Amino acid sequence: MDWGAVNLPAALEDVRVTRLPPSSFYIADFISEEEERILLQKIADAPKPRWKQLTHRRLQTWPSDLVMNKLIDAPLPQWLQEPVVSRILSLPFAVSPDSSNLFADSPHKRPNHVLINEYPPGVGIMPHKTGPPIIQSCALSAWEQVYA
């Protein structure tokens, strides 16, 4: 499905963030405005039980919640597979025939779950560390960075 044109780099090495650890990349406009609109609508249309109210945010987990610190083995919904997952997997580390994608060495070879956080205006995620092996983040709607 073609949800709009985006300009992706030829490889992740082209979008490396030099002042952060070498595994940090930033792709501006990773999704198109139309894709963003569709994703936001899919998130909004999720059944109410999908949302968990936490202290300073609401959370959806896909494809399942953690059960005893484990995920139920299930595929991500199609609206996350296209365009997000397929686009992530299409990007090699380097422009070379033998270069692999970001998830090639991960246990599942692809993203295996998605956390969707909704923060009230003026509230954001507190400083924290997120566990290995791979973290990918995509900000939808409005976003801001605040450094303390």
Alpha-carbon distance 24 to 103, whole Å? 14
**Contact indicator for 91, 12 with CB cutoff of 8 Å:** yes
Confidence band of 148 (pLDDT split at 50, 70, 90): very low
pLDDT in the model for residue 37? 93
What tokens does 125 get? 């995620």
In a domain, 126, yes or no: no
**Helix, strand, or coil here: 105?**
coil
In a domain, 127, yes or no: no
Tell me which residue range forms the domain holding 61.
Answer: 12-118
What pTM was estimated for this model as a whole? 0.80
Query: Half-sphere exposure of 133 toward its Cβ, with a 13 Å CA cutoff?
Result: 11
What tokens does 57 get? 């945010």
In a domain, 50, yes or no: yes
In a domain, 95, yes or no: yes
Q: 116 — phi, psi (to 5°)?
A: -115, 115
CB atoms under 10 Å from CB of 73, counted, come to: 9
Confidence band of 56 (pLDDT split at 50, 70, 90): confident
Per the structure, the count of domains in the chain is: 1
Average pLDDT on 41-63 reads: 92
